[in-house]
Each structure stands twice: as structure tokens, then as C-alpha cells.
Amino acid sequence: MATQTIVSPQLLSGVLWVLVWAAIFLLALVLGSRTGRLWREHRERQLLGELRPAMLEVASGEDDDRSALTQLTSVAPRRTRVVDRAVSAMLSKVKGEPARALAEVLRSHGRSSWALRGLSSRRAIRRAYAAWTLGLMRERESGGKIVPLLQDRSMDVVVAAARALTLIGDGAAARPVVRAVAPRRRPRGLPSWVAVESLCTFDEPVAGVVVEATTHPQPSVRHVAATVIGSRPLPQAAPVVRERIAAEEDPRTLAALVEALGKIGGSSDLTLLARFARHPDETVALAAVDALEAIGLPSSVEALAPLVADTRPRPSERAAVALTELGPRGREQLREFAKTPGPAVQPATYALQLTAMRSATRGLD
């Protein structure tokens, strides 16, 4: 026979009071935290009050006599932390002489030394913020000390380091950035978009590093290299791109290589690009059509015209729209297609109607 457990009223009352006091404590904690944050924000607004016009004057480049800069560099110690936060926020939005002046404010407050020490901190958020601060200040000499963070165990630190190096713009960091895309000791590499942004921003020399990366064993690295070649662009890489297109097996990288060839290639590449416009992978086919349009030669019309009859809707429509962008010859070819029964009728009609709508819209403007 099962025994019945009896809970005394005193125990239930005690548990209830514990829950009540826990709820009161949590409510007080939330209210106290919110009140403290509002008080700090109010305090910071007070501290920045009379300094904000000086910050705006420096950030706009109108501080010709450097009086506003002097006011910011000589603030009382109790204000430096608040000023540094506001100046850092402005630094991410300005360039040139105003950026150098704002960086001078941070340097005068010891922010550069603080950031250099933070690169070796045990806390990931401190390492990331330190690298980003040096990048905002365009501390070119610190680039070599930021580079090791591209292999950091924290992905947040890796991204912050790469973006800091982008702001500094030193081409010497190109090879470490490429290596960070496919690290040996981490499961995830530097995101492709961050690597592309950096490699497109760095000063010379990066061409050699990017061209070399087109033969990397990892597809992610080859994709970054191909994207940079087309985005920067790097005309000297054209022979390597032609060679790599023939051997590339990764569809995403192949599409990037094809698109790059449209930016740096010429009339001799039309036949090759027309062949890839019929590639079974639609991403590659669309990239080839875009490349044929980007080359923009009269002979591009002859290369694009047969593609309008492609049985796949997206490549055929894209080829038809590309013909409308290649001038009267392209549009005349589409009108011929629209009159002749066959697979090219629908894409040609669509492209001509789209062109008419755009022309009507421009007329209304």
C-alpha cells in the first residue's frame, strides 16, 4: 500500500514567501538596472553638453584654427571616457583630415596605448574592441600587431581584426587575410564578404596574392580571389582567369571567375563566355550572360542572340534583357525574334516590353 506524503501548511507558506521575495528582488534589480542606465545616459549628455559643437566642428573639417581640437584634447580626465566613445562613433563615418583630427583626440587620451594592450587580453570582446579602435584610428603601424588576431579562436575577433585592417588599408595584410578564409585550426573561416571587402580596399601590392589564391585547394579561397579580381578589378589577372575557368569544378567559384572575365576580358573571350552561358548550372550560365553584356562590344550581340532561345526561362530572359542594353542592334535582333515562332518569342517580347515601360517611366520623370 502506497504511503501518502503530507505537506504541512507551514512549509507551503514558507515556499510562497520565498517566491514572493524572489519576485520582489528581481523586480527591484530590473528597475535598478534601468534607472542606473538612464542616469548614466543623462550624465553623459551633461558631460558632452558643451563639447558637442566642438566635436561636430572637427568632424566636419571646419576647425581651421584647431581651437575645437584643442578643446577636445584638453578635457578633464573624468570626461575622456565619454568623449572617446562619442569620437569613436564619429570616426566610423568620416574620412580624410577630419578622421585624422578625431584620431588625434583619441591618441591624446591614451586610447592608442589602451588598444594595443587590449590586443593580448584574455577576453574576446576586449581583443575585438581593441582591434576595431586601432582600425578606426587608422594606426598603420599597428597593422602587424592586429594580423595575428586573424587566427584568433573567436570568430568575432577575427572579423573585427579583418575590418580594422580594411580601415588601415595596408596591402601587407593581404596574405594573412587570404589565409584566414580557410584556417587550419578553426572549423569556420573568415566570411567571404569580409575578405573581399578587405582585399578590394588594401593598397598595392595585392594582385600577386589574389592571383595566387585562385589556385588554392579550398573553394572558398578561390571564390574570394575570383570575386576580388572582378570587383577591384585586376586586368593583369586575365590570363590566369582564363586558365582557371577551364579547370574549376566548384560552381560558385566558376560563376565568380566567369563574371570576373566579363570585367577584365575582351572580344577574344566572347566564344568562351557564350559556351559557359549554356552551362548546366544556372548560376554559371547567368554569370556568363552578365559577362557578355559587361564586355559591351558590338560582337556581344552575336554571342548573346542564340542564348535567347535557351529552354531555361531565367538565362533566356536575362540574355534578352542584356540585348536591350547593347543598343539598336540588340533591340532589332529581339524584334526579329518576337516575329518568328519559336522558343525565343516569349523572352524577346518580355525584354522589349520591359524596355518600353522603362522608357515611358523616364519620360514621365
Place of cell 582557371: 244
Contact yes or no for 158/150 (Cβ under 8 A): yes
Give the CA radius of gyration of the chain.
30
Please choose, from the candidates 118, 121, 144, the residue with its C-alpha nearest in 3D space to the C-alpha of residue 133: 118
C-alpha to C-alpha distance for 193 and 223, rounded to whole angstroms = 10
pTM of the model: 0.80
Amino acid at 47: L
Range of the domain at 336: 273-365
C-alpha to C-alpha distance for 8 and 59, rounded to whole angstroms = 71
- Give a yes or no: residue 355 inside a domain: yes
pLDDT of 199 reads 95
CATH number at residue 307: 1.25.10
pLDDT at 81 over 90: no
- Give a yes or no: residue 208 inside a domain: no
- Give a yes or no: residue 350 inside a domain: yes
Residue 234 Ramachandran class (φ > 0 left, ψ -120 to 50 alpha, else beta): beta
Place of cell 558631460: 47
- Give a yes or no: residue 248 inside a domain: no
pLDDT of 176 reads 95
Q: What is the mean pLDDT of residues 206-211?
A: 94
Amino acid at 337: F
- Give a yes or no: residue 171 inside a domain: no
* Long-range own/partner contacts, residues 47-51 (CB < 8 A, 24 or more apart): 47/78, 47/79, 47/82, 47/83, 48/79, 48/82, 48/83, 48/86, 51/75, 51/79, 51/83
Q: What's the number of domains the chain is made of?
A: 1
- Give a yes or no: residue 296 inside a domain: yes
Q: What is the mean pLDDT of residues 67-74?
A: 87
Question: pLDDT for 238-285, tens place per residue?
Answer: 999 999 999 999 999 999 999 999 999 999 999 999 999 999 999 999
- Give a yes or no: residue 127 inside a domain: no
Contact yes or no for 146/165 (Cβ under 8 A): yes
- Give a yes or no: residue 343 inside a domain: yes
